[in-house]
Structure 1
């Protein structure tokens, strides 16, 4: 399985920071934001990774990441012309993916748990389902793509509804079969004047071909100043807990 990170867009909600660089290169605690999806893939054993971004900032990414060897992965890069949405960005990955199943992570998504079980389960599920999304329960669902599910199927998926029908949302981590590209090519622009990958996922949901996994730990996307701050606080909390755990284990070993 290959990995695709979508790291384009203008990041207008993070102006003026994003007037000088891509939002996915902004710091989240001690690391650039883009490190987190790369680490998520590495923990899954997915080391062939494509980063899709705009030509304006391609050099910024390469200066930071190079080939990815220092992070234990092999990075590839593709330029998205214009800002026509996630659907157009994902189409840039078609040649990279070829005929393999692949996982997509929106570059501002930060996951705190190992999601390997979700990826492993899809090997059996893909006989019945065309794609899988990871979902999370949140307090403010109207900011996201809201989902409804029954059994193993997503039955409804609506982007930023005025009246959310559930507290479960699409996190921006998706597992797809390569045939998704044929649907992406048929997309029409949404009311936001963008090609939305959500529209393809909605089609799969209507056909009963979209399954899901529920994240148990905290999840955040860092697309606004508030979310960027929350992501930084979350990463610090996790580091503090890890340090306390290490201290307890060290003291326990010392006493023993």
Structure 2
């Protein structure tokens, strides 16, 4: 299974923090932001990962992830020269997708929930397009999806003034191998971007769009502003301190999914053995 993490963008809402580092390299509590979406794709079964990054940030991502083999992944990189819309990743990554099913996640989205692995795997294996909807109090700030009485999607509108529902489209998507052709046929919006809403609307029109609703047992956090970044850090700190379990740990996901064995996890632990993160991973091995 293939997956794409979109980690570009200008990060203007997080200025001046993003003068020093790309938004997705900023920390959410004890890990870089990008760890959280990457681990979500890993939970879905994605092992071939394309990171779409800004030109000036590619080297920083390569230092952080390398080729991914330490986690049993194959990580490659592509550059988005300037913000051109979420859907543009399917033009940039067309060779990577190559007609296969692919997952896409936004690099500033954090998902949490006990059943998240199963829900993500359904999307990875499902037909057509699968998107995820989350109930929000202010839907006008998001792409909004309207469902009929049979839970079938009937409309998708980006940031509507008068929303027809409270179900916001999150930043996690799965598509069949036609998605690159669909993206290539789009017209750029008034802001000069290829809109992911237009891809989803296409799949809806042809009857190949499935919507997975993330209910009260899930958290979806968009970390694009200083306040939302702080709330995400507080959320992660609260859950991890209370449960003693990490959120968004690629090392743990890789080990539990069987992408790496005990020896592979031990090699990852060695250089960070004295850190809190390293001690947590040591505890995983000790408990088996």
State the distance in 1 between where 2:99 and 2:22 align. Answer: 30
Matching residue of 1:34: 34
The verdict on how the C-alpha distance between 1:125 and 1:30 changes in structure 2, with shifts beyond 3 A counting, is closer
Post-superposition Cα deviations, 1:121-179, rounded to whole Å, max 9, x if no partner, equal: 357751xxx20101111112111111111334221111111222211111010010010
CA–CA distance in structure 2, aligned partners of residues 66 and 145 of structure 1: 34
Structure 2 equivalent of residue 117 of structure 1: 118
Shift of 1:190: 1.1
CA distance in 2 between counterparts of 1:120 and 1:218 reads 17
Q: Determine the C-alpha separation between the residues in 1 that align with 2:121 and 2:31.
A: 28
Alpha-carbon distance in 2 for matches of 1:27, 1:173: 20
What CA deviation, in whole Å up to 9, does each residue of 1:21-41 have, x standing for no partner?
210101101000000111112
CA distance in 2, matches of 1:196, 1:125: 22
Contact 1:3–1:49 (CA under 8 A) maintained in structure 2:
yes
8 Å CA contact retained: 1:103, 1:174: yes
User: Cα RMSD between the aligned structures?
Assistant: 1.8
Structure 2 CA distance for aligned equivalents of residues 85 and 48 of structure 1: 22
Provide the residue aligned with 2:172 in structure 1. 173
Q: Structure 1 residue 187: deviation in Å?
A: 1.3
Query: Bigger CA drift: 34-43 or 202-211?
Result: 202-211
CA deviation string 1:220-245 (max 9, x = no partner): 1111112111111111121022129x
In 2, the alpha carbon distance for the partners of 1:221 and 1:72 equals 27
> Is there any run of 5+ residues in structure 1 with no aligned partner, and where?
245-256
Structure-2 separation of matches of 1:58 and 1:124: 30
CA distance 1:98–1:234, shift in 2 (3 Å): same
Contact kept, 8 Å, 2:143 with 2:168, in 1: the verdict is yes
Q: Is the 8 A contact 2:2 2:100 kept in 1?
A: yes
CA displacement, residues 190-247 of structure 1 (integer Å, 9 cap, x when unaligned): 1222111211111222333211111231111111112111111111121022129xxx
Matched with 1:204 is 203
SS of 1:235's equivalent?
A: helix
Compared with structure 1, are the counterparts of its residues 52 and 215 closer, same or farther at alpha carbon in structure 2 (3 Å cutoff)? same
Distance 2:11 2:195 in 1: 17
